[in-house]
Each structure stands twice: as C-alpha cells, then as structure tokens.
A and B are shown apart, each in its own frame.
Chain A
Amino acid sequence: MTQPDLRITIGGLVFKNPVLTASGTFGYGEEFAPYVNLHHLGGVVVKGISLAPRRGNPPPRIVETTGGMLNAIGLENVGLERFIAEKMPYLRGIGARIIVNILGDSLEDYQALGQRLSEVEGISALEVNISCPNVKKGGVAFGTDPAMAEAITRAVCAHSALPVIVKLSPNVTDIAQIARAVEAGGAQAVSLINTLLGMAIDVKSRRPRLANIVGGLSGPAIKPIALRMVWQVAQAVNIPVIGIGGITTTEDALEFLLAGATAIEVGTANFVNPRASQEIAEGLARYLTDNKLSGISEVIGKLILP
C-alpha cells in the first residue's frame, strides 16, 4: 500500500507533514530529542529570539488552570547571536524544517533580525511574533493595530529573503482584519492563535498568582476559540493559515485542518505528553489511510457547513 501524502506547502516550501511545534513549548528542539524522532515532524518553531538576550519576567511565571495554563515567561531567550552560534548547529541536523520565531521592541529590531537570520544556513522561514501579551513595551501594540502589524510585516519581508509567517494575537476585536493587514504587508502565511490574556488570583493571600499579574492562557481550554478564529481567518485571506491553540490529539489537529488550516502547531501539549507532536503526525497518516484518502489536501478546508 502506498503511504498517504501528508506534504503541504507554505511560502513555496514543502513540509513533509503539517505538524509543527509551537514556539516557546519545544525549546530549541534538543530538549525533546530523548522523546521525539524530530525528523518525523514537519517542522520545529524555536523559542522566540530577540536581538539581545532577554531575562524574562520574575517568578512565579506559570500557573495551572482548568484544562490549561497561564504563562508570563516574558520572552526569556539567549539572544540572536548565541542562538546562531549555540543552537543552530544542532538544529541543522534534525531533519525537520526550522522556523525561527522573532520578536522585537521596534521596527528596526524586526528588520535586523530578519536580515541576519537570512544569512544563516538551515533556516526555512521566520515566524514573526507581533502578539505576545507578556512584555509591556513591544508585542501588544504591533499585534493589535492593523497598520502597525502591516508595517512590521513589510519591514521584515523587505529585509529578509526567508518566507515570513506572522503569528497573530487573539486579543483583538477582529482578528481577520489583522490577518488581511499582514497579508497586504507581504506575509506568506499567518499562524494563530497566540495565547489569550488571562489572570488567576490566590484567594488566601489575595495576590495574583503570576508576578506579572496577567499572563497568556494556553492548552485545551482555548481550543474552541482558536478553532473559530482559524476558521474566520482562513476565509479572510488567500495565504496559508497555520492553526495553533490547545491542539493535543490527532482529532484536534483534524478539526483545525478541516476549518482551513494548512498546517498546525502543537504547543502546551508538548509539556503534558512530550511525544504529542510525533503522535499527531502518525495519527494524521493513519486517518488518511483509514479513510482511504490519498493526501492531506483532501482534509484541508473541507469543512461541510450546514
């Protein structure tokens, strides 16, 4: 029997399957090597990188909620040059596409990141974080304003030879409007959703459970919201949509694909089941075989409406 065809194309790049790992939940790949055959994945989106190293927020940084978790890591990362020197050599050998998530405080930061990473061998694409809710300056303004989102996208595209994926914030009134703006700015794809802004309070101490007071909600609890947004955005733009948000099982992934996502990213599930991404990739292949479908294209966007 022939193997089902799981290949998808984003920004002119062919991915062996539609399963990627979400930024900030998969380290720099190596952390998961004891558990996952990394070459079985479509791609790895690495922890968000800024020009200079970032210390991140003070602890406590995470709290568990019903079916989810809040985080306020604060974009802690090793910085651009250490990432290139220390993390890329390993990543080049894993046999999956490498997507580098980038974040900055200014238009110039994004331009510089895009430019420098274009010179680095082994990187397939950039995912531009304009949506992380945790850092007071930066992220929020770019991701919630269509004109700023478009400007950042345009700046990265102009300075980088790599395909640009823009990661969208759900903390907006109309996510489809932002998606159209970044499409106009030249994005080759959008990924969504980033975390939803949330909060938790310890009633004994009457204090917020996160030092940052608020944080980003992720995990199975956010899946219906993410799915709805992916469905809306898929109809609003003509570029591929990458679905993210609470994807934990093969069935979750299929829902996003049916809603119009070309690929998906597995996030918080990696913490719960470090093998989740690989199991979902295997599960998709099984689904195609069981349903006698020749390729994943027979699933993508094939939602049947009432």
Chain B
Amino acid sequence: MNQYEEQAEIVRQNQLAPEVFRLTLKAPEIASSARPGQFVMVRTTPGYDPLLRRPLSIHQTIGNEQLQLLYKVVGKGTQILSALAPGQKLNLIGPLGHGFDLAGKQAICLVGGGMGIAPLYFLAKEILRTTSPPKCIVLLGARTAAELGPLPRDFMDIGVTETHLATDDGSLGHHGFVAELLQQRLDPIQRWTVCTCGPQPMMKAVVGQCRKQGWECQVSLETMMACGISACLGCAIPRADLSGPYLHVCKDGPVFKAEEVAWP
C-alpha cells in the first residue's frame, strides 16, 4: 500500500472565486504516487476542533513534489484551510482510494459540477499525456460564471480542445444543467467513456444520460468519512441492487462504475 502521512508545506494559496481556493502543497511522497481520482485526508488543525480530517480529491500533481487541492469554504475545516499561508504546514494522509480507469478508453468525456471539477483536471492531464491521439471533451458546470473562475481556461491551457460550459444562472455558456450538454455536444455514434464528479443530482442526471446512450460511466463519490483508510466504515453506500454488503467510498471508491452503486 503506497500511503503516506506527510507534513506538507504550503507553497501557494490562490483565491479563485469568493469562496473557492486552490492550495498548492509540497508533499513529495503523496504527489509522486497519486493517480487521478484519488484523495487525501487533510487535518485542518493540529488541535481537536474540528476533530476529523477532511477528504479532498487531488486537483493535480505538479512534477513529483507538489500537489494541488481545490476547495470551497463550506464550514469550519475549510475556513481554517483558507487562512493558511505559504510556509505553513498541513498534515495529509494519502493518496487514498481508487482513481479513474483509463485503460483502453478511446473517447473520454469529463463532466464536472462545482467543486467536482477538482479531480477532473488531474484526469484531463493524464488523458492528454497517455492517449494518442487524445479524444477528450470537457463539460463544466457551476452555479455562476464567477464560481467557475479560471477553471475553463486551465483545461484549455493544458491542451483540451473542446470545453463546454453551463451555469445555473446563464452567466456563462449554456443556461441550465451541465448534464444537458452531454446530449448537445457528444456524437452519439462514438463509444464514450464518461467520467463525472459533482453534486449528487447532477451525477444522477449524467448517469441517466449515459445509460440511455449505452455509454460507460465512472462516477467519483463523496460521503462523510472519519478515517479515509477503511477502518471506521462510516462511508458506506448501498450497492446498485440495494442488497449484499455496503460499498465503502474510501476503499472501493471514490471512483465507481455508475452501475455498481444505487441512484436513489
């Protein structure tokens, strides 16, 4: 098991939108072994309030030494994270869980909503690096243009040739849900592999579209989680048929085949 506890040094903290931040950390052990879709457990404070680590997916690795986390301030833990400055330390464990499976995929579409975009950037870089010629379409959604911030540009900068956007308020791209772009933008004749991460209703809509078209779909899920290493068993989710043992997001996921899990 290539898992490490690292006292990562903060290299940069960039604010991308009113509550959205991108943290660059020096964590060589984790960065050099992380795969797209994996996550880290972040200890936001050396004290005990908040008590538990926060699971955050890896936004990208830079070289063999650095990794980035993309997060939105939603509570006490992320509030503390957003106040950290370069030079300060942050305790991480990782890389954890199973990432996306790219083996033998020809045409790949990434569908991200809100902070769910975080792991897809890492994935896009990997697709561009490993597939030739790369066929990768990126669909990004958020509530507003401001929330997307520089993210669409980032995908274009690394060489993604086709990026389509959707916002709930219509301030950028398609006025509506990102899942609707699947129908509009993907050639139904192709055998697509769709990789998605975002709010549950968004992913459910994406999974529904894929099922209709017969496309493969991989989903990255998020749950409450105390340990991230399969000890607490807190991150249980039901299987598709609602029977048998529960799946655990930290160990069996966080990336699952859409048909493995239940979509209530």
Which residues of A come within 8 Å of B, CB atoms?
24-27, 31-35, 47, 53, 55-56, 58-64, 66-69, 71, 73, 76, 219-220, 248, 268, 270-275
Q: Is the CB of A63 within 8 A of B246?
A: no
With CB as the reference atom, state the residue of chain A lying closest to B93: A274
In the complex, identify which listed stretch (B48-56, B104-112, B194-202) lies at the interface while the others stay far away: B48-56
Assess whether A271 is in contact with B232, with CB atoms less than 8 Å apart: yes
- The prevalent SS among residues of A at the interface is loop
Q: Chain B residues near A25: list those with CB within 8 A.
A: 227, 231-232
Tell me the chain B residues, 171-226 only, with Cβ under 8 Å from chain A: 223-226
A281 to B49, CA, bound (A): 24
**B245 at interface, CB cutoff 8 A:** yes
Kindly identify which residue among A32, A55, A67 contacts B231, using a CB–CB cutoff of 8 Å. Answer: A32
Whether B51 pairs with A31 at a CB distance below 8 angstroms is no
In this complex, what residue of B is CB-closest to A209? B224
With an 8 Å Cβ cutoff, the count of chain B residues facing the other chain is 31
Contact pick for A270, options B223, B227, B230, CB 8 Å: B227
Q: Contact between B231 and A27 (Cβ–Cβ < 8 Å)?
A: yes
- Complex Cα spacing A19 to B181, Å: 56
In the complex, what distance in Å separates the CA atom of A61 from the CA atom of B229? 16
Q: Quick check: is B1 within 8 A (CB to CB) of the other chain?
A: yes
A73 touches B229 (CB 8 A): no
B30 CB to closest chain A CB (Å) equals 11
Pairs A-B, 4 closest by C-beta atoms: A62-B234, A27-B231, A34-B3, A271-B227
Interface SS of B by simple majority: loop
Question: Which B residues lie within 8 Å of A66 (CB)?
Answer: 49
Complex-state Cα separation, A66 to B50, whole angstroms: 7
Whether B170 is near chain A, meaning CB under 8 Å from some CB there, is no
* Complex CA–CA separation, A77 to B227 (angstroms): 17
What B residues does A271 contact at CB under 8 A? 52-53, 226-227, 231-232
Min CB distance, A83 to chain B, in Å?
A: 14
CA distance A31 to B227 in the complex (A): 10
Q: List 23 A-B contacts (CB under 8 A).
A: A25-B227, A26-B231, A27-B230, A27-B231, A32-B229, A35-B5, A35-B93, A58-B238, A59-B237, A59-B238, A63-B224, A67-B48, A67-B49, A68-B51, A71-B232, A73-B232, A73-B233, A76-B245, A220-B48, A268-B51, A270-B227, A272-B43, A275-B5
Decide if B263 is an interface residue (CB 8 Å cutoff).
Answer: no
B207 to chain A, nearest CB (A): 19
| Cβ-defined partner of B1 (8 Å) among A34, A61, A64, A219 | A34
B21: A residues at CB distance < 8 A: none
Chain B nearest CB from A66 CB (Å) reads 6
B236 within 8 A of A: yes
Please indicate the chain A residues that have their CB under 8 angstroms from the CB of B246 in the complex: 55-56, 59, 76
